[in-house]
Structures are given as C-alpha cells and as structure tokens.
A and B are shown apart, each in its own frame.
Chain A
Amino acid sequence: MELLIPNPGLVFWTSIAFLLLVFLLSKFAWKPILQTLKIREESIDEALKAAESAREEMGELKADNEKLLVKAREEREQLLRDASKAASMIKEGAKADAEVITKRMMEDAKAGIEAEKQSALAEVRSQVANLSVEIAEKIIRKNLENDKAQKALVDEFLNDKSFN
C-alpha cells in the first residue's frame, strides 16, 4: 500500500522539474526545432516539385530532340536520295555524251578512211594510166622500129578508115 500513496515531496519536485522543463524546452528547443523542421520539409517539398517540373521539361526537351532527330534523318535520306538521283542522272548524261562522241569519232574516222581510200585509189589509177601509157609507148616504139611494121600499121588504119 505504501507504494500506492504519492509522496508530497516527490510530487512537488516532479511538478516543478517537469513544468520548468516544459517551459524551457518549449522556448529553447521545440520552437526552433519544429520551425526548422517545417521549413526544411517545405523546402524539400519545393525541391521535389522543382525536380518534377525539371523532369517534365527534360521530357519535353527530349521529345523535341527526338522530333528534330526524326526530321534530320528524313532530311538526310531525302538528300541522299536526291544525291543518288543526281549522280545517276550525271552518269546517264555522261554515258549518252560518250556515246555521241564515240559515234562522231567513229564517223570521222570512217570519213577519213574513205577519203584516204579515194585519194589512194585516185593515185593508183593515175599511176596505172601513166604506166600503161609508158608501156604502150614502149610497146609501140618496139613494134614500129622497122619500116615494114610502120607501113603495115598505116595500112591497117587505112583499112579501118574506109573513105567513103
């Protein structure tokens, strides 16, 4: 039973110590601690929100970048297509040109050959004529070395040329 009866002295000291502690801590401990905690919590909240919005912005930026990238890729492909088209066009043109030039050159060469041939033939012909004249002259000279022969020839001519 002794244990269950509060001793007035201890009640007195406990009241004083506890109430003084409540006063002291409220003023010098809990006030700054709770205030700082509140401020910190708010700043953490704000920081989290800022991080969230930054993340959203990053996401938007990333999406923009992706769009840009897609566009760039398309442009590159377009450029490549154009370039290859242009290249093939140039190639085609060059081929056609080369063909034309070749043809012309061939034609020129043919014409040259023909001309050379004609001139060569003409020369041959004139040389053959000269040679035949020379041969004929030599043969005639040989045949008409004697008078008898000359006379026979004249006769022949004369026979041929009937004076009628």
Chain B
Amino acid sequence: MTSLFKKGIKTFKILAVILFFIAAPIFVANASSSEESADKEFSPSEMIMHHIQDTHEFHIWGELAMPLPIILWTDNGLDVFMSGGFYHGDGTITTDKGSYVLEHEHIYYAGELGEDEHASKPLDFSITRNVFSLFLSFALISWVFISIAGKYKKRGTSAPKGMQSFFEPIIIYVRDEIVIPNVGEKKAGKYLPYLLTLFFFIWINNLIGLIPFFPGGSNLSGNIAFTFTLSVLTFLIVQFSANKAYWKHIFWMPGVPTPVRFILAPIELLGTVSKAFALMIRLFANISGGHIVVLSLASMVFMFKSYVVGGVVTPFLLFIMVLELMVAAIQAYVFTLLTSLFIGTAVAEDDHH
C-alpha cells in the first residue's frame, strides 16, 4: 500500500516536471510577444511563424536575447559582425564595408529596401539560431558518441555501462533492423556509419527542437534547408552507389513491352528525384507541424486569458508533447529507413530475373 503511494508520488513528481517543461514555452511565448505587443493584440500566427522560422538572435527570456554573429558575403567581400544592432535602435548596422538592415529576418543593404521585392541582398551565412542549434547538436552528438567509443575501447567486450548501455540497443537496432534488412548484409558495413550518423543527427535535432527553452527550441530539423540538405545527400548517395541493374530498371525496364519502356523511363527518372523530395517534405512537415500544434495550444491560453482554457489545454499539451517525443524518434527512423531502402534498391544484385 505504501509502496503504491510512493509510486504515485514519484509519478506525480515526474508529471510535475513534464508539466513545468510544457508550461515553459507558454511563458517564453508570452514574454517574446510582450515587448512588441504591449499595445498590440496577441497574435498567435505571428508568434508561431516567428518561432518556426530562423532568426538572427537567440531569444532567451523576456528582454534577454543572445546576439549571434552575422556573416555576410557582400559586394565588398566578407563582413562579420554581431546581430545585436538589428534588434535595437533604428535597426541598421553600419560597418566599414556597408550598412545593412534586417527585414523579416532577411538582411538587405540599407537604403535599397523599398517597394522593390527583389532588393539586392548580401549572401547570408550568419550563425542564426538554427545554425547555433546545429552547432550545439554537432557538439553534443560528437561528444556523446566519441566518449561512448572511448568506453568501448576501454571496456572492451565487457557489458555496456551508463550512457553506453542506453545507446547500444539503439545502435544495434539501426544496424540490425534498419540497415542490414534493407541494404543487405554484404553492403551494410559501407553505409552503416553514414546511416547511423543520419539517424542520430535527425533524432537529436528533433529532440533539441522540443526543449522549450534556451538553448533548445529552435526549429532546425523542421527547417526546409535542413531537410533539403539531408535529402540531397541521400539522393547523391543513391545515384552514386547505384549499379547497372538499377539504371537498367530506370531507363530500360526489363519484362515490359518496348513502347511501355519509353513511357516508364521518364517516370522512373522523376521517381529518383521525387523519393528524395518526399523525404525532404516529410521531415519538414512533421517537425514544423509538431511545433505549430504545440505553440497553437499554448497560444490558446493567451488568446482566451482564462484559467479554464489553461486547465483544459495543459493536459492536452502534455499529450501532444509526449506524442512529439515519439514523432521525433519515428521521423528519424523513417528518414533512415527510407534512405537505407533507396540505397538497398540501388545496390541490389539483379538476381530476380
């Protein structure tokens, strides 16, 4: 009876912690909108779009924001400075190479931004919030797996311990359930390092995106540039590792009449691109969609300004948040699975004819 009670307390504590994490974005969202919307009405779509898109500073809490380095390739060469000036004062930053303004998170040459939609822009390689998050995940992933590898080296073949025992089943799962069945035992070793990195890169970035406060919460893995890069890499790997049989299936489909082959070839060729395209859109839509749902639910509290709505929304938000945790893993799994599947079809021996 007492143990049951204790268990109940423990569960309650865990729930309380989760609730805190979920409540945090509400406050953050409120805080970020408070400065500009002191006189304006709270606009959920503006807040959500602001969150979903990339920014040149990292908002932390209330008035507190971390300025990020701006790296521009301008008409006068490389220009590097901090982003603080874009958000304070008149919003124009002038360096010895030029002066710039930020409009909807796009950097323009100052003075050229008028009515013209296609005002000239410097090439923007800034360390934005998403790039910052990318570097964070880079540091985290390399630290985690290189330190685990050190443990493997040190402990040899003895049983895994600590972090090692958390990640080992996942690594084995990726190897035995995703890569080997799709790519095939013989070729799996060649692609395994890439696919393992891909899986953990997507998963950990999804998870960092779910952390509602600094330094998490950026929508990196839900950004189209991120998913675009990964799908292009998948596309390139598939095309470059494809064997003769694969190309034959695309341009001269065996087992069908010759006229049909001419119809099939462009379709198949388009299929190679559309597979990668689907990968890009799937990850983008799932992660961005998740962020939008969570933020929309949180926004409801501020729209209705009611405890009742808060009481109803918060448990539902908890449910969605837990669902998003699952989605984070599932999308990493799906992306890795499909990439291995595409590689598998590209390298498969032509033995079924």
A interface residues with partner B (beta carbon < 8 Å): 2-15, 17-22, 24-26, 28-34, 36-37, 39-40, 43
Contacts and interface: CB of A to CB of B under 8 A. Distances in A.
A10 B226 contact: yes
B225 A14 contact: yes
B131 A9 contact: yes
Contacts of B192: 30, 34
Contacts, number: 122
Contact of B225 (A10, A37, A39): A10
What range describes how many residues of B lie at the interface? 35 or more
A6 B197 contact: no
Contacts of A19: 233
20 contacts: A5-B224, A6-B228, A9-B123, A13-B127, A13-B131, A14-B225, A15-B233, A22-B197, A25-B142, A25-B145, A25-B193, A26-B197, A29-B146, A30-B149, A30-B192, A30-B196, A33-B145, A34-B192, A34-B193, A36-B153
B130 interface: yes
Contacts of A15: 229, 233
Contacts of B171: 33-34, 37
Contacts of B125: 9, 12-13
A7 B227 CA distance: 11
Interface of B: 52-54, 104, 123-128, 130-131, 134-135, 137-138, 141-142, 145-146, 148-149, 152-153, 156-157, 168, 171-172, 175, 189, 192-194, 196-198, 201, 223-226, 228-230, 233, 288
Contact of B233 (A7, A13, A18, A24): A18
Contacts of A2: 53, 104
Contact of B149 (A4, A12, A32, A43): A32
A94 B131 CA distance: 113
Nearest to A18: B201
Contacts of B142: 21, 24-25, 29
Contacts of B168: 37
